[in-house]
Chain A
Amino acid sequence: MPDELAGAIRGRRVWTGTISFGLVSVPVDLLPAQRPGPPGLRMLAPDGTPLSRQYHDPDTGAEVTSDQIIRGYELDEGGWVTVENDELSDLAPEKSRDIDLRVFVPQEQIDPIYFERAYFLTPSGDSRKAYRLLTRVMEAGRRVGIASFVMRGREYLIALLADGGVLRAETMRFHDEIRPVSEIDLPDRPPDDGSLVKRLKKVVRANSSDTLDMALLEDEEAERLEDLVRGKVDAGDVVASEVEQAGGGDEDTSDGDVIDLLEVIRRSLAEQVPDEEARPLSDLTRDELYERAQELDIPGRSSMRKAELVEAVRGRA
């Protein structure tokens, strides 16, 4: 699995840019270090046709096409402020290719509840020398770099951690996104004779372990779903629709092979993109689309209008 996995990770670059500390820059690629949970079930018509989504006005029932849609922010005092996608992307921080290292801090000072999502950083181009140097020094001094960078029109605060010669970037929650414990109503400690503490400590000691058994983190839900689906496939209970969505067909298994369902589920895990990427392309701003086009190296992207970018990115995704 590790080889297969490493290959899958390498193919999933989500951003490319440069770490800068002082006047030194290290070009890097950003790769996700986490995969989302199992994919959800698809919605189908009674004959097995996969359904599509459509916007509509619930009052009139009429379809609302995507060029007719605008974002609205509901004010506390009532009423809406509407904002065009282009206006939002104009507000986004300058599209810099820099991971701007602002400060190095001792690792133990960061409460782990700040961390949100992890990525690997790998050297790109001929930056291995600087990459190794930075990693080595950070690891030896148990230092974490705090930096900010812009990805898809959003500014992220990240912690750069060096571990085993590899740099990880972990996006962090901002301070005002963490609720302090003072906001919950904790009662005072009542007087206590210590007997319950003693009993609990005995339970803790009797059930302690030094290693994390992966079996404890297994996803029973996904396994039960898998069992159920496998059973139905074995029973020939598959609905094949004549109307398959473009690109929906997998490789040919017509020679009656046993279908490796686990493999399919794994593959859909690998193919599933983070929530942010799951937004319909038409919901993205032109800048976000442009960035996607840049990642896909679509020629002529700089002169494309938004609709053209949507088409070009859709064709390559």
Chain B
Amino acid sequence: MARAMWKGVLRVGDEGIPVKFYSAARDRTVRFRLLDRTTGRRVRQRMIRPDTGDVVPREEIHRGYPVPGGGHVILDESELEALEPEKSRDIRVETFLPPAVIGHVWYRRPYHLGPDGGAATYYALVDALAEEEMAGLAHWTMRNTRYVGALRVVGDHLMMVTLRRAGEVLETGSIDAPEGREPQPRELRMAEQLVDALSDDFDPEAFRDEYRDRVLDFIQARARGENIRFPRAADRAGSEDLAERLEASLAVLEERKSA
């Protein structure tokens, strides 16, 4: 069973609903550490002055913000502390929206929420949001960082998805759709047929990160004192006339079907 990574209290009107956060996404990228190739020991980073090469100890490092024209504004310890959000377990849910209004381009990281204690209040909120077909917009502070998130009902439980901030998302309107001649009816028809022929249900389990598999296989083999090689895939050819390509693609699919 997964362990909770944080606990908080959803504040909806006058109700307090204690919940536990469980990460719903886990990055499986293979992580390496940096070692000294001669000694085999791990290396660490430290800060130096680029002009003299002198090491600057942690307690002498200042934090600063660059300003135009060169130079920095230095922020001291107390100023930085004053910037930190207040510690709190409260998750304020003050606005409710149809889930589709919060486009997934805003989504950052998903969390499963489970009840922390009383399951009755937890499921009451599941039912209220499900029956109203709404998602909550939540604000809270977790591990010294402020978050905004979408509180959604998925199946029969609650999920919180942290959201990107205003200005971080460039919506489709920020780029112009390319202009040009309208596609010919014949091209449209064939393209539709081609998309139809390649259509299927979404099966997320059909896709694997093959690179990750290879890296892990390689590491395990080396740990056993072996070396392995992987074959490389070939490339394919480019395009000429659009209508001809569509026609040829349909013919290939047709052949495959009758074979």
List chain A residues, Cβ under 8 A from B27.
Answer: 177
List residues of B (202-225) whose CB comes within 8 Å of A's CBs.
202, 204-205, 207-211, 214-215, 218-219, 222-223
Are A217 and B163 within 8 A (Cβ)?
A: yes
List chain B residues, Cβ under 8 A from A79.
Answer: 223
Task: Give the nearest-CB partner of B27 in chain A.
Answer: A177
Total of A-B residue pairs, C-beta within 8 Å = 490
CB distance from B167 to the nearest CB of A (A): 7
Known A54-B47, A72-B35, A148-B207; judge A189-B123 contact (CB<8 A).
yes
CB distance from B29 to the nearest CB of A (A): 8
CB distance from B242 to the nearest CB of A (A): 5
Are B74 and A166 within 8 A (Cβ)?
A: no
- Which stretch in A56-64, A286-294, A295-303, A304-312 binds the other chain? A56-64
- Within 8 Å of chain A (Cβ to Cβ): is B41? yes
CB distance from A172 to the nearest CB of B (A): 8
List residues of B (96-119) whose CB comes within 8 Å of A's CBs.
96-98, 101-102, 104-107, 110, 112, 114-115, 119
Q: Which range holds the interface residue count of chain A?
A: 35 or more
List residues of A (12-59) whose CB comes within 8 Å of B's CBs.
18, 20-25, 31-37, 41-46, 48-59
List chain B residues, Cβ under 8 A from A91.
Answer: 211, 214-215, 218, 230
List chain B residues, Cβ under 8 A from A278.
Answer: none
Interface size on B, residues (CB 8 A): 154
Q: Mask for B175-193, Cβ within 8 A of A = 1, else 0? A: 1111111010001100110
A101, B218: Cα distance in complex, Å = 28
A127, B35: Cα distance in complex, Å = 47
* Chain B facing A: main interface SS: mixed
Are A5 and B43 within 8 A (Cβ)?
A: no
A93, B233: Cα distance in complex, Å = 8
List chain A residues, Cβ under 8 A from B179.
Answer: 128
Are B83 and A137 within 8 A (Cβ)?
A: no
Are B33 and A74 within 8 A (Cβ)?
A: yes
List chain A residues, Cβ under 8 A from B132.
Answer: 201, 204-205, 208
Task: Give the nearest-CB partner of A143 in chain B.
Answer: B195
- Within 8 Å of chain A (Cβ to Cβ): is B255? no
Are B128 and A197 within 8 A (Cβ)?
A: yes
CB distance from B24 to the nearest CB of A (A): 5
Known A51-B61, A209-B96; judge A81-B211 contact (CB<8 A).
no
List chain B residues, Cβ under 8 A from A129.
Answer: 180-181, 183, 242
Are B71 and A241 within 8 A (Cβ)?
A: yes
Q: Mask for B220-240, Cβ within 8 A of A = 1, else 0? A: 001100000010111110110
Q: Mask for B13-33, Cβ within 8 A of A = 1, else 0? A: 101000000111111101111
List chain B residues, Cβ under 8 A from A143.
Answer: 195, 199
Are A42 and B28 within 8 A (Cβ)?
A: no
Interface centre among A109, A197, A208, A228 (most CB of B within 10 A): A197
- Within 8 Å of chain A (Cβ to Cβ): is B198? yes
CB distance from A225 to the nearest CB of B (A): 6
Q: Mask for B29-63, Cβ within 8 A of A = 1, else 0? A: 01111111111111111111111000110001111
- Within 8 Å of chain A (Cβ to Cβ): is B245? yes
A50, B70: Cα distance in complex, Å = 11
CB distance from A55 to the nearest CB of B (A): 4
A173, B23: Cα distance in complex, Å = 14
A173, B116: Cα distance in complex, Å = 28
List chain B residues, Cβ under 8 A from A104.
Answer: 195, 198-200
A199, B146: Cα distance in complex, Å = 28
Task: Give the nearest-CB partner of A259 in chain B.
Answer: B68
Are A250 and B180 within 8 A (Cβ)?
A: no
Out of A37, A52, A120, A221, name the residue touching B50 (CB < 8 Å).
A52
Q: Mask for A221-248, Cβ within 8 A of B = 1, else 0? A: 1101100110011000111110111001
A55, B41: Cα distance in complex, Å = 12
Known A105-B202, A130-B239, A210-B97; judge A253-B49 contact (CB<8 A).
no
- Within 8 Å of chain B (Cβ to Cβ): is A249? yes
Out of B46, B207, B209, name the residue touching A54 (CB < 8 Å).
B46
- Within 8 Å of chain B (Cβ to Cβ): is A141? yes
Are B25 and A128 within 8 A (Cβ)?
A: no
CB distance from A120 to the nearest CB of B (A): 5
Pick 14 A–B contacts, CB within 8 A, sort by A. A35-B168, A35-B170, A41-B65, A48-B64, A75-B219, A96-B235, A98-B235, A103-B199, A104-B198, A132-B180, A174-B208, A188-B119, A218-B165, A238-B72
Known: A73-B33, A137-B191. 9 other contacts (CB 8 A): A44-B61, A44-B62, A49-B51, A51-B49, A56-B44, A57-B39, A190-B120, A204-B96, A228-B83
Nearest 6 CB-CB pairings of A with B: A22-B249, A165-B177, A203-B13, A240-B71, A112-B104, A200-B128
